Amino acid sequence: MRILLGVSAGIAAYKAALLLRLLTEAGHDVRVVPTRASLEFVGRATWEALSGNPVTTEVFDDVPAVEHVTLGKRADLVIVAPATADLLARAAAGRCDDLLTAALLTVRCPVLLAPAMHTEMWQHPATVANVATLRARGVHVLDPDSGRLTGADTGPGRLPEPATIAAAALALVGATLAGGTLPAAGAADPAARDLAGRHVVVSAGGTREPLDPVRFLGNRSTGRQGVALARAARDRGADVTLVAANLEVGAPDGVEVVTVETTAELRTAVRDAARDADVVVMAAAVADFRPARVAGGKIKKTGGAPAPLELTLNPDVLAELAGDRLRAGQVVVGFAAETGTDAEVLDDGRAKARRKGADLLVLNRVGAGVGFAVEDNAVTLLDAGGDVVGRAAGTKDAVAHAVWDAVLGRLEPLRG
């Protein structure tokens, strides 16, 4: 595949060298187009040596080749990493004052921008508006990671890891870093805004059930898969409500977030949002049981044997949603993480699909240690009868797009 890798002037430009390495080692032909100022961080020789291709920054460097047009037209995929606040502003305004921004105006393939900047710049209303403009045009803008920035400051603004950027970009064209394609059900174009006009609800994270004011029963869910689903739906044009239960990762920008703690709170929030939703995806790990009584004060050691913990059953939110639809035509999706051999996982998944009655059940074999570092998830999609209707493998973002592809085929056409 022919990939155009743009690099703008941020300290994270060095990470783009690692990204370039991943892409070339996966067999892709990469043309690097740095901005003039980015050469202060990583020089032309590095890009030429690692890509094996000539590197230019200006529209006037090779006029007979009309590079600003041919580069864009030749590309199957464009990645800009890091994308600085200035690059986002110039891209949003449609400026073309160097080779990279000129090429961005001529491309017709999927474009992924990976921003990196100080938190204040990322959160400035000008940058927020530029990102919204670019996303509305179908450009994929990754949310930056949170963490240590250039100086002593920390916060959202870090460039995501090269493998994450590569996987997210390749997923836009249905490819993986390992060189495979995603056998996603439906295989719709994830760059399309094919969920525009739809309201989707995604639950993510894990619920916690209090024992007393300081202790709870909980689970290890981080919320990454649910957050990836919310982000993918947003990128595909949906209005997204994310019901967030104790997330360990940041919620994506541009989605409505309802924060919950317990299963009862999650149930209320999901059902409220689901009343006018086209799709509900239950990606949260929902506690099946809660303590029968919550102590008003901290439970103390009394010296003797501790009292046994009495539990009571929580409602099954997914089964309720599937059994008694809050809106006609609503598509309900559940998740199941199972252990055992492939055959046992499939048998358990089939039984769960029939029991829950969701339109789709995303079955995940846990503890399988699925291959390559970024290939961190492999799922099987089952319908309400327990039949296999698709499989997908890849990052949580890639799996999220595969789920939305499968949902699309089940949505009733938009009215009006």
The smaller minimum CB distance to ligand CTP, of residues 192 and 217, is found at 217
Stretch that binds ligand CTP, among 8-16, 247-255, 330-338, 401-409 (CB under 6 A): 330-338
Reply yes or no on whether 219 is catalytic: yes
Quick one: tokens of 79? 């990645």
Which member of 12, 201, 318, 407 binds ligand CTP (CB under 6 A)? 318
Helices (H), 251-341: 263-274, 317-323
Neighbours of 202 (CB within 10 A): 34
The three-point CA angle 147-153-156 to 5° equals 40
**What does the per-residue mask of binding to ligand CTP show for 374-393, with x meaning CB under 6 A?**
--------------------
The C-alpha R_g of the chain, in whole angstroms, comes to 23
Ranges of beta strands (E only) in 171-304 are 199-205, 209-210, 216-217, 239-245, 256-260, 279-282, 289-291
Cis omega (within 30 of 0) for bond into 291: no
Pairing mode of beta strands 199-205, 388-394: unpaired
Quick one: tokens of 377? 């998830």
The smaller minimum CB distance to ligand CTP, of residues 3 and 392, is found at 392
Q: How far is the CB of 336 from ligand CTP (least distance, A)?
A: 4
**What does the per-residue mask of binding to ligand CTP show for 215-254, with x meaning CB under 6 A?**
----------------------------------------
* 286 in contact with ligand CTP (CB under 6 A): yes
From the list 53, 130, 219, 246, the catalytic residue is 219
Which member of 209, 278, 316, 376 binds ligand CTP (CB under 6 A)? 316
Site size toward ligand CTP (CB under 6 A) is 13
285 burial class (0-12, 13-18, 19+ CB within 10 angstroms)? buried
Quick one: tokens of 149? 């920035």
Which member of 262, 335, 396, 408 binds ligand CTP (CB under 6 A)? 335
Contact 173, 1 (CB under 8 A): yes
**What does the per-residue mask of binding to ligand CTP show for 296-315, with x meaning CB under 6 A?**
------------------x-
Q: How far apart are CA 12 and CA 118, in angstroms?
A: 11
The smaller minimum CB distance to ligand CTP, of residues 195 and 382, is found at 382
Active site residues: 219
Binding stretches for ligand CTP (CB under 6 A): 263, 282, 284, 286, 288, 314, 316-318, 334-337
